[in-house]
Amino acid sequence: MDSPFGLLAELTYRCPLACPYCSNPLNLAGYQDELTTDEWRRVLVEAGELGVLQCHLSGGEPLLRRDLVELVAAAHDLGLYTNLITSALGLSRPRAEQLRDAGLDHVQISIQSDDPTVSDRIAGTPSFQRKIEAMGVVKELGWPLTVNVVLHRLNIDRVADVLELAEEVGADRVELANTQYYGWAWRNRDALLPSRAQLEAAEVVVRAARERLRDRMDVIYVLPDYYSRYPKPCMGGWASRQLTVTPNGDVLPCPAAQSLPLPRASVREDSLERIWAESPVMTAFRGTDWMPEPCRSCPRRELDFGGCRCQAFLLTGDAARTDPVCHLSPDHDLVAQAVEAANAESRADGLPLVPRPHRVRRPTRHPGGADRPAPGVERAG
């Protein structure tokens, strides 16, 4: 494809939750200078001109942007399909009605478990009941509802109950996504990586649920990379289908690419069209010419594109290495060791977690209609 069809608009990294698997960057303080309302409007126009069809509004927590309704309306007026990816904290009925009137097409709500105590503990704040109430509002207002659950060692044994909860709230789609180890999840990998026995039990439950619910609810199950024989293609191929714009205007081929030692590209300095076509961050790993062996001569090179560049960098320090998840990678032992540790009989459960800090500074308005963080004290989770 010559142009992307999906834009992930990360409006803010402020968030009321403190999930230990969050994929947001570790240096959250580096993203406080958020794009203004007018800057985001320009991004949306340029995205439409580039060929983008879907706009996913995410964060952090996008509901913390006071101009969210304005941005939804702007995207809708441009003909973009809009999807709100939210914790639902702050999705009151009046706010939801405003978003519906602005043209929002779809809502995805995350939940940490079917059990209120477990869910609140993982989220780092009481939130379960508000999420359930918000799901009810979403269905009452006629939106399609996706329930997203990030799976890991602390909740994967509850997959059957999670699916039952998704049925109860009337979800149209449920995403059971095993943790990908970037950002805060990378720091907590030892505590979060499930055992092989846990995964096998969960897969049995998911297969049965897919068959039982096939006419009522889509059940998406994403395996953890570490237990796969081959890696997943990075976003369908590096900078081939989607792009991400971060709160401060950086443009990336995927949400986790902040960690890579590549030149930055910003919508504050250049157009999306030029960034997509010419910037080093987009062209560095596009296609297959950059590949080392064994990827270069592998018949799967245009199926998985060498795997995840961010994962390769985190594990080896070199973003151009074959993703160590691949059993053909010369670095595969790095993944094998982590899996072995997760399955060791001597492994102790309840390993300490490093929570993602809360970032809920109250924004202030400034010319251009932006929400910018006001001076204040961050509250650690």
User: Other CB atoms closer than 10 Å to residue 275's CB: what's the count?
Assistant: 24
Tokens of 8: 């992930």
Positive/negative CA dihedral, 39, 70, 87, 167:
negative
What confidence score (pLDDT) does residue 345 get?
84
Of residues 305 and 71, more confidence is placed in 71
Over the chain, what is the mean pLDDT?
A: 91
- The Cα angle at residue 71 between residues 69 and 73, in degrees rounded to 5: 70
Q: 3-class DSSP state for residue 276? A: helix
pLDDT score for 359? 62
Q: What type of residue sits at position 120?
A: D
The alpha carbon dihedral of 126, 370, 6, 300 has a sign of: negative
pLDDT tens for 66-92 read 999 999 999 999 999 999 999 999 999
Binding-site residues for [4Fe-4S] cluster sit at 15, 19, 22
Residue 272, pLDDT above cutoff 80? yes
The pLDDT tens digits of the residues spanning 19-41 come to: 999 988 888 888 999 999 999 99
Q: For the CA atoms of 315, 319, 322, 324, what is the dihedral angle to 10 degrees?
A: 10
Residues at the annotated binding site?
15, 19, 22
Query: In this predicted model, what pLDDT tens digit does every residue of 355-377 receive, in sequence order?
Result: 788 665 544 443 444 443 332 22
State the angle between helix axes of 128-140 and 116-123 in degrees (0 to 180), rounded to the nearest 10: 100
Q: Are 367 and 31 in contact (CB under 8 A)?
A: no
Tell me if the pTM is above 0.75: yes
Q: What are phi and psi of 104, to 5 degrees?
A: -60, 135
Q: What pLDDT, on the 0 to 100 scale, is given for residue 369? A: 45
**β-strand pairing of 242-245 with 218-222:** unpaired
- Residue 74, both tokens: 């702007």
